[in-house]
A and B are shown apart, each in its own frame.
Chain A
Amino acid sequence: MRSCRSHTIVLLLALTLQAMLWGLPLTAFAQPNISLKLSTPFGGQYVVRAWLPLKATLSNKGAATTVTITGTPADASVQFTRTIDLAANEEKTVWLYVFLAQPTSSVIITVIANESVLLRQEVPLLLRPVERMRAVLGASPVASDLFAAGSLQPTDVPDHSLGLSNLSVLAFFALDDPLSSEQQSALLEWVYGGGHVIIGGGPSAVSLQSFLPPDLRAAQIVGVTPLDRQPLRERGGAEMIDPLIGVKLQPRSGAYAVGDPDSTPWVEYPFGRGRVTQLAFEPKALQDWEGQERFWSTLAQPVVLFATGIGQSSQIASRQIETLTPVLSQLPPIDTPTVAQGYIALTGYALLVIPAVVGWWWWRRRIVPVMTLIYIATISTGGSLWWATTNAAPTHTALRLTLIEPINQTQARAQTALTVLSAMPRREVVSFNYPVVTQPLPINTDSDTGGPFPQATKTVTLTLTPWVRQGILATMELPAPQIRATLVIDQEQLRVDVQNDSPFTLRNVFVSYADQMIFFGNLRPGVRSAARWPVIFASSAYPETLGTQIVNDLRENGLLIGRDIKRRAAILTTFIDAAIAALPDRFDPGPFLVAWLDQDPTDSASTFIGQRETLLVMRLRITGQGRLILPMGWLRIDPSSQDTLACPNSKGVQLSGSTAEIRLRLPADLVSFQADTIRMQLQTTNQVTGRDLMVSAYNWQTANWDEITLTDPSNFSIPAAARFLRNGELRLRFSGTLDQVGCIVVVSGARGVVP
């Protein structure tokens, strides 16, 4: 008895001791063999809803290890992470990008290894509006803070286009070394998305050009010449007495010279949604000119600028996400599983098997057959579990929208928006074929935006909370799909050539220019298709977006079918509109090629639960020379270049007062078009006659307004039109009682030659 009690006491003591040990917290101490040096290329200045680039130099003086560097805005929980392998005694410089969705005072950077925080640093920040976020490599040409970040070095240029997203203008006035291939790709992508690059001229023009991506060369340097100073005077608002010597620029196809084409002071080259401004002169040549401050502030303007929820942005990606957001929550429904078969089996079990077994045993032996019941229940449970698991409905549904935009022949940008809704907690591993930079989508609620959001990785793990829509936006660079699409001048008409050399089938290919579009159907790999651009198009009575037009066309032709058609149509419409991202005050009618890919090149997974759409949107170049009849609608109103307001129905402009001016423009590739005749159609809300309305056109040769004689204002021609069309631009002035005219819609076509 005594032995039993002592055993009991020993047992109790042992348990108590163990309990105390369980209660003690475990502490691990990190080995501080990693050092971190941080810098921000733009002096800590940032823009809300843009990415802040941080250059981190990590030095490892210990054994080889893997560290995760994490950036978190102060007062926020979202984490942007990058994992780096560090060999023993190695120093590595990497870029970390932190998306700043809200104004913040600083960013907290931590270095983590083996779940221990090794280092923590705080980087103070300074908020600045995007239109004032200009940076310059080399010396700033002005003493003021026009350029927010000056004297940058080539190593200060981020290696991802997102790192440039808080800049609106980037000037290259001095460059000692060429940019790396990653920096060149980033720069190209940034300009394509709306950035404005200014490249200096003068003696260093040749080396500057050679250090930058070839696609950004706006002009060829063919000599040295005195430059036309008139454009500088106009922008600087001051006389320029001294001659200005610079390089002679010969614009490339799609670029146009400002001022006298033979002595142009700069060439402008639209690239994607952005622009390259190639100067012929050295920036410091203006340093003694009194108009230089005003000149630079006029020249170094953002190309794209639009309001976002909390500020402004100069990169179209923000608008694309904003447009796409409403449909990201429209997840595809999952079919309810068929329960009937299983329940019939359970009915047999409940009404026949169990009562029969229990009843028979009771009748024979007056006892409940316990083991038999356990066997039957276990076998039934196993069978039922197998059947249920085999036929189980998915636990989650997802929407994956991938937009691929080829930037040039070799490089493309892809953005994947992935939204997932799960009925139970789960970890979803999303794989990509290329390294991605991820960020939260605006659909995420506050509690689920913490991330982490990894960078420079092909695998992203999402921790899903039940019934909470969660998503990520992954941006990546990938090789451009080998799809060649061009508009060729052929037999006085435009011909569309599409050649699919990619391994993907292009579904429902459309080529559009403004509200006109051609349907090419499906193009399998290796297939080429060509079509002439129709001369006459029936213009829609209502202002429809390209997405609406395309989706309506698909529906009318029976190419959009299924039980969930309304939701799918809404998603496709919004997706196309987000990809095109037309801005109301910006001239960007295309031409575009819009097509769906049958496979997502960013994703290697063959199975996907939910809806997956991969949209290819590329800009078509117009090539060729010779005579050309441009159909009506190709010379269009440029909404960014007039003071008139858009009409309430977004179709046409509202004229007011006694005089109003509008500008019509050709696509950038036709800036060299020389018009013989311009045909114009005017549609107005109220009926007008030639007496009510006088039309004048700006004569570029005489710099005067020439009145156009017209009998029918709704349909007239301008003969000898070469003097009125310059660099693809036609200026019209309307005089009369314009308040009575109401809304005016101007569409034009032209006949002429492309030299």
Chain B
Amino acid sequence: MIALFRSEWQHLIRHRRVSLLLPGTVIVVWFVGLLLFQLSGAIGADQTGLTPLFNAQIGHLFATGLCLTLQGWLTVVTPLLAISFFPVFDPSPSLSPAHFLTRLLALWALMVLCIIVTLPFFSILPLFGSMRLAEISWALSVVVTTTWLISTLALAGITLIQQRPAGLFVTYIVILGWFLASFLITKTSTSLTIATIIVAASNPFAALIATLAPAFPPAGPIASDLNTLLQWTHGVVERDVPLYLLYITGSGLAILLFIGIVGFVSRPKPRRWQHFDTWWSVVLVVYLTIAYAMREWWLPVLATTGR
């Protein structure tokens, strides 16, 4: 399996798309950062004397903007990278679960590499005196989770459909539908229910904002922009609800289920019980057991309806 992974990884990093993706990701993040600085500088000229901690407001704007950009950008490009594993026109042959898993791991590793090369931009966030390393780490954790989830979804979709253009199209449709549905349901919800929280938490952008939102400034010129953003991502859910805990927990389960389903469906027929299935079952049970044992970590998010 290690040899298989090396093969898939070598295949991936020799792809021209990847050589464009990495500098492209860095340049996109740099460009957005530049825009944010210009924006905050234009506001800051008038506001520094009025707002006691305007530096921190700029820091929040910068952090939020960078995280959203990085996550949005990687969400868009991940399916494009996922198709690199498949032939252009021919239907892809049946795939063993181990083969699927190694492709997925290679894609995950590439996503992590994409995030690593953008880290210097995040490392200047402490300059503004508004972010703790814990908050930045949680935000990056959500970005990693999202890219892994999208990677799994894209790879699973294309593997199951076995046609590259069709798989890509369906993947984008599913992602778009998922995001739109969660945004619209959250925005239009008027009462705080468990369903509302689950829908909000299923939105990667809401989960990302939730890592930063508790420290959002309540007032000020930048605060109003951030609060508008919160209305779209959180709706009636309060800003200090740690949606990301539920999101990360749920994403882990979703990834496991995707792997299990695709590993079973895409394997050559006749489909029999394999070592992969045993290990997958063990990992699933362990995951569920840990999730249950650590329910104090993510379950209180659902209890916030009682506030």
**Chain A contact residues, CB within 8 Å of chain B:** 4-5, 8, 11-12, 15-16, 18-19, 22-23, 331-337, 339, 342-343, 346-347, 349-351, 354-355, 358-359, 362, 366-368, 370, 373-374, 376-378, 380-385, 387-389, 391-397, 421-425, 466-467, 563-564, 567
Please tell me which one of the listed residues A335, A339, A422 contacts residue B48 in the complex, with CB atoms under 8 A apart.
A335
Interface centre among A354, A355, A373 (most CB of B within 10 A): A354
Mostly, the B contact residues are helix
Q: Is B181 among interface residues, defined by CB-CB distance under 8 A?
A: no
Check A392–B54 contact: CB distance below 8 A. no
Check A22–B293 contact: CB distance below 8 A. yes
Give me 8 A-to-B residue pairs in the complex whose CB atoms sit less than 8 angstroms apart, sorted by A's number: A19-B289, A333-B52, A350-B26, A358-B19, A387-B124, A389-B126, A394-B129, A423-B59
Q: Is B168 among interface residues, defined by CB-CB distance under 8 A?
A: no
The CA-CA distance from A383 to B120 in the complex, in Å, is 8
The CA-CA distance from A358 to B19 in the complex, in Å, is 6
Check A336–B58 contact: CB distance below 8 A. yes
**Smallest distance from the beta carbon of B38 to chain A beta carbons, Å?**
11
Check A334–B119 contact: CB distance below 8 A. no
Check B215–A467 contact: CB distance below 8 A. yes
Check A388–B124 contact: CB distance below 8 A. yes
Interface centre among A350, A378, A385 (most CB of B within 10 A): A350
Check B292–A377 contact: CB distance below 8 A. no
Interface centre among B33, B37, B55, B216 (most CB of A within 10 A): B55
Check B214–A350 contact: CB distance below 8 A. no
The CA-CA distance from A346 to B56 in the complex, in Å, is 20
The CA-CA distance from A732 to B10 in the complex, in Å, is 105
Check B290–A377 contact: CB distance below 8 A. no
The interface residues of chain B lying within 8 Å CB-to-CB of A367 are 10, 13-14
The CA-CA distance from A393 to B33 in the complex, in Å, is 19
Which residue from chain B places its CB closest to the CB of A566 in the assembled complex?
A: B49
The interface residues of chain B lying within 8 Å CB-to-CB of A467 are 53, 215-218
The CA-CA distance from A286 to B218 in the complex, in Å, is 65
The interface residues of chain B lying within 8 Å CB-to-CB of A15 are 285-286, 289-290, 293
Check A351–B27 contact: CB distance below 8 A. yes
The interface residues of chain B lying within 8 Å CB-to-CB of A355 are 23, 26-27
10 closest A-B pairs by beta carbon, nearest first, are: A423-B56, A19-B293, A350-B30, A388-B127, A393-B129, A385-B123, A384-B123, A331-B52, A380-B120, A355-B23
The interface residues of chain B lying within 8 Å CB-to-CB of A392 are 126-129
Besides A346-B124, A422-B53, 11 more A-B contacts (Cβ < 8 Å) are A12-B285, A15-B293, A333-B53, A337-B128, A349-B30, A373-B22, A377-B118, A396-B53, A423-B129, A467-B217, A563-B49
Which residue from chain A places its CB closest to the CB of B119 in the assembled complex?
A: A381
Check A373–B116 contact: CB distance below 8 A. yes
The CA-CA distance from A393 to B130 in the complex, in Å, is 9
The interface residues of chain B lying within 8 Å CB-to-CB of A376 are 117
Which residue from chain A places its CB closest to the CB of B109 in the assembled complex?
A: A370
The interface residues of chain B lying within 8 Å CB-to-CB of A378 are 116, 119
**Smallest distance from the beta carbon of B61 to chain A beta carbons, Å?**
12
The interface residues of chain B lying within 8 Å CB-to-CB of A377 are 116-120
Q: Is B125 among interface residues, defined by CB-CB distance under 8 A?
A: yes
Instruction: List which B20-55 residues lie within 8 A (CB) of chain A.
Output: 22-23, 26-27, 29-30, 33-34, 37, 44, 48-55
Check B127–A423 contact: CB distance below 8 A. no
The interface residues of chain B lying within 8 Å CB-to-CB of A388 are 123-127
**Smallest distance from the beta carbon of B7 to chain A beta carbons, Å?**
14
Check A349–B120 contact: CB distance below 8 A. yes
Q: Is B105 among interface residues, defined by CB-CB distance under 8 A?
A: no
**Smallest distance from the beta carbon of B249 to chain A beta carbons, Å?**
15
Contact flags B265-307 to A (C-beta < 8 A → 1, else 0): 0000000000000100010011001101111000000000000
The CA-CA distance from A241 to B16 in the complex, in Å, is 118
Q: Is B255 among interface residues, defined by CB-CB distance under 8 A?
A: no
**Smallest distance from the beta carbon of B263 to chain A beta carbons, Å?**
18
The interface residues of chain A lying within 8 Å CB-to-CB of B117 are 354, 373, 376-377
Please tell me which one of the listed residues B58, B59, B294 contacts residue A22 in the complex, with CB atoms under 8 A apart.
B294
Please tell me which one of the listed residues B124, B218, B292 contacts residue A342 in the complex, with CB atoms under 8 A apart.
B124
**Smallest distance from the beta carbon of A651 to chain B beta carbons, Å?**
34
The CA-CA distance from A309 to B289 in the complex, in Å, is 57
The CA-CA distance from A467 to B215 in the complex, in Å, is 7
